[in-house]
Amino acid sequence: MDQHTKGRSGAVWALVITSVAGFMAALDNLVVTTALPSIRESLGGEPEELVWTVNAYTLTFAVLLMFGASLGDRFGRRRLFTIGLAVFTGASAAAALSPGINELIAFRAVQGVGAAIMMPLTLTLLTAAVPAARRGAALGIFGAVTGLAVASGPLIGGSLTEHLSWQWIFWLNVPIGLLLLPLARLRLAESHAPDSRLDVPGTLLVSGGLFGIVYGLVNANADGWTSPTVLTALIAGTALLGGFIHHGFRAKNPMLPMRLFKDRAFFGINMASLLMFLGMFGSIFLLSQYFQGVLGYSPTEAGLRMLPWTGMPMLVAPVAGILADRLGGRPVVVTGLALQAVGLALFAMALAPDASYASQLPALIVSGVGMALYFAPAASLVMSSVRPGEQGIASGANNALREVGGALGVAVLATVFSSQGGYDSAESFTDGTVPAVWIGAGVVALAALAALLIPRHRRIPVQAPDQPEDRVPVPA
């Protein structure tokens, strides 16, 4: 086998392994949502505990992503990728065996730890394995697969829950993980980042800060906004996040150098990602339950009726990749976010205790097209906005901000839902969901505005970090 063929084979294997791993990690963000009614019936749990079955994963995923990227840079990206994959696979089996809601929440958190080590290294390993000329296409495929995982979570979770049991949403990961582990060891090339450093203080600051804020938001309705526990959590969380931002400016080797956000391309795509996931995740958390609890669909029926949303990425993502190559990523991402905001607004207008499926179909289609247009070029925009040596940091930062957005979205919109409605009746659930989804639509609209900050022609460094002036224009 000549070197060219060997290199092509390595690139294909890297794309397959990282895409499947990314699919699993992204799928577990929302696969639980359609199973929530069954989990509540099986294990019990208050509304706040149901929120934590989702947020225990997204929060640990978010706060440890950048630390996971640093571990890979220092100790070997392939090595840490396989460790993260093993932790994720083992925690998935433990979650399936959970005897109670508290145990499930705990193992969901461990799942998040494994995903946080594994996920940020997927893009770095893929970027290193694929030649520059084909990198855009490979990253586009990876982004489309990740987007499909996020969108198809309710369908897969619903089908497994109804036809097997809710435990199978976790058992599904086990054979896939066991298959990927030897493939990753044999087919991925090892790589390191020179002079990498672990930022333990930064990890502790961002972990404590985000946990405090999300904890305060989730428990605000049950305990009261002015209760000592909620106030302490919100104030302490905000202070710790402020300390994390200060640390990012002042520390010698911070996990997230705040100077990166001075670049409009990096700032724009990351703020757009955070807001997109905040609005979308929180809305899907409620909408997937609305289909079952209000309209009376079974888990599978609920997932099937979301197919116009979940299927659109498969149809639109290839077109989105071509458009991004011709027009640049910026207009494609902005259009996708605008359509996603319109789709959520259409949902909010159509929601009712006796709403017909036909009245929700336009919202499903528009949301699906918008999601596909966003996901296809987003990864490429992130990775091309920084130096090659900083791509691990960029990957970790973008994925972390997405997960932060998801955790905040579920917490914020669940809080709005609880303040305006509840699980008592179809009318009560709808009364809480409508204002929450309107807020989700508004937040995604802000994401579209943030994406406009990305320059049409941005400039990325091509020299060493000590020579930042030498830059070349790259289409957005």
Mean pLDDT, 10 residues at a time, the chain of 476 residues: 54 83 78 78 74 81 78 83 92 91 90 86 76 70 72 77 86 90 83 72 84 79 79 89 87 79 81 89 82 81 79 72 72 88 91 86 88 75 68 71 80 83 82 90 91 67 41 35
User: For 101-150, what is each residue's pLDDT tens digit?
Assistant: 889 999 999 998 998 888 878 777 877 777 766 766 777 777 777 767 76
Query: What pLDDT, in 10s, does the model give residues 230-245?
Result: 888 889 989 998 998 8
Contacting residues for 448 by C-beta, under 8 A, at least 6 apart: 272, 334, 337, 338, 341
> What is the model's pLDDT at position 99?
87
Residue 173 forms beta bridges with which residues? none
Evaluate whether 199 touches 254 at the Cβ level (below 8 Å).
yes
Give the global pTM: 0.77
pLDDT at 7: 54
Q: Residue with structure tokens 């672990």? A: 198
Can you give the pLDDT at residue 474? 36
pLDDT score for 266: 82
Residue 379 is predicted with a pLDDT of 67
What pLDDT does 390 receive? Answer: 66
pLDDT at 234: 87
Query: Which pLDDT score is estimated for 461?
Result: 46
* pLDDT value at residue 194: 65
pLDDT (0 to 100) of residue 468 = 41
What confidence score (pLDDT) does residue 191 get?
73
Whether 35 and 158 have beta carbons less than 8 Å apart is answered as yes
Residue 470 has a pLDDT of 34
Percentage of the chain exceeding pLDDT 90: 12
